[in-house]
Amino acid sequence: MTETGEGLTGRAFLDWAVELLEGVEASPEQRAWCRHYPLSAQEPGQEALERDLRALEDQSRRLGLTIANYQRAMEVRRLEAGAMDRAAAESLPRLDVLACLTWHFRRDHFSEGSLIRESVAEGALLRLFRRLRELQRWPGIATTLGELFRDRCGGIPTAPGVYRVLAPEGVPIRFLDRTEGPAPWYPAEELEERYRTCRDREILYIGKADGRRGLRQRIWQYVRYGWGGGTVHRGGRAIWQIPDADLLLLEYDCCPDCEARERALLEDYLRENGILPLANRRR
């Protein structure tokens, strides 16, 4: 490989990760080195491989591919920890892929070297990254709202752009009545009815970011509002009446004319559904 994963984002990072892991899969020598890790780290000859695998882990964390609320995701999606290394990655939806990736990365904390010795050597990580790349639609890799709040949106770029909040496959979308907060909330029954009206029930909200610090600042204002930590970004607040809002996914795309892009996305959704996305309310 001619570059490391450091600094890569989105599709470029996923391409790099898959290429790296496919290289291990195709090399009996590299696979043998991985199976005997960390003892093999004392042997010369695979310094570049070890560096790249550590870069893979570090950048995955920066980009939100490991989610702190993965246990909540496992509970909601009924994922068994004992089956994580045998999961049929080819059919997993995105939230499940993120939960599985997190499980593999976290296991390494309790069994040092297991990420390389087991997850990489046995091909589990390769299958998960291939599936994540297959599911990638927008340039910015989707992560959960809960992870964005925990990380203060540290992996989001400061460029202008648009973003979408998505309902993960298999996570039930229901609504609660709320009373606290700086802006009035919506009756839960009204949101239920509005959501039933939407043909596309995956896209819950479409927003734009054109401020001084672009997407990072705007998305941070959004998730901070949802956790009761700010008064800015009352738009899209219907999202925060969903009990499992921390498991919702957010993806983004950097673009200079984000206002025009947002308008086009909303017009497309309105044309196909006869209504704007759930949280794109006019009041």
The per-residue pLDDT for range 145-195, each reduced to its tens digit, is: 999 999 999 999 999 999 999 999 999 999 999 888 778 899 999 999 999
Looking at residue 158, the DSSP 8-state letter turns out to be: S
Query: What are residue 190's phi and psi, to 5 degrees?
Result: -65, -40
Nearest one of 108, 148, 106, 277 to 207, comparing CA atoms: 277
pLDDT at 277 over 60: yes
pLDDT on residue 103: 93
CA 51 to chain centre: 24
Taking the domains of the chain in order of start, what are their residue ranges?
A: 10-135, 143-273
- Calculate the average pLDDT of the chain: 91
Residues 230/142, Cβ–Cβ less than 8 Å: no
Q: What is the pLDDT of residues 12-68, one digit of tens each?
A: 999 999 999 999 999 999 999 999 999 988 888 899 999 999 999 999 999 999 999
| 209, β-bridge pairs | 161
Side-chain half-sphere exposure of 202, counting CA atoms within 13 A: 9
| 96, β-bridge pairs | none
Q: What is the pLDDT of residues 5-14, one digit of tens each?
A: 778 889 999 9
pLDDT bin (cut points 50, 70, 90) of residue 230 is confident
H-type helices in 2-123, by residue range?
10-26, 28-35, 47-62, 70-77, 94-110, 114
**Torsion (CA) 168, 174, 180, 183 in degrees, nearest 10:** 70
